[in-house]
Structure 1
Amino acid sequence: MFFSIVIPLYDRPQEIDELLESLTQQRYSPFEVIVVEDGSSKPAKHVVESYRPRLDIHYYEKKNEGQGFARNFGFVKAKGDYFIVFDSDIIVPQDYLRQVANGIQRGGWDAFGGPDAAHPSFTDIQKAISYSMTSPFTTGGIRGNKQHVGQFHPRSFNMGISRKVYEQTQGFRLSRRSEDIEFSIRMIQQGFRVGLIPEAFVYHKRRATFEQFFKQTYGFGKGRIDIYKLFPRELKLVHALPAAFIFGLCSLILLNLINFGGLGKIPVLPLLCRIGNIVFVVYTLLLFLHAWFTTKNIRVAGLGVVAAYTQLVAYGLGLMDNYIKCVVWKK
Structure 2
Amino acid sequence: MKIASGAFTVDPKTGMVRTALSKYSPGSIYKLYVQARDSTPKNANSTTFKQSEVAMLEILAGDRAPQFLSSKYFRKIREDSTVGNSLLLIETHTFRPIDERRTKSHQTFYLLNEISDDESPYFYIEELSGLITLKRALDFDDPSIPKVFKLKDHFLIFHFIVKEDGKENLVPVEFEVEDVNDNSPTFIQPLYTATTKENVKIGKPILQVRAIDKDFGENSRIVYTVDHPDFSVSDSGEISAKKRLNADQNRERFFIYRFNVTAEDRGMPRRRTSATIHIRTENTNDEPPMFVPTREYSTAVAEDAQGGTPVLQIQAVRKRISHFL
Taking structure 2 as the reference length, the TM-score comes to 0.20
Q: Which has the higher strand share?
A: 2
Larger RCO (CA under 8 A, 6+ residues apart): 1
Q: Which has the higher helix share?
A: 1
Larger radius of gyration: 2
Taking structure 1 as the reference length, the TM-score comes to 0.20
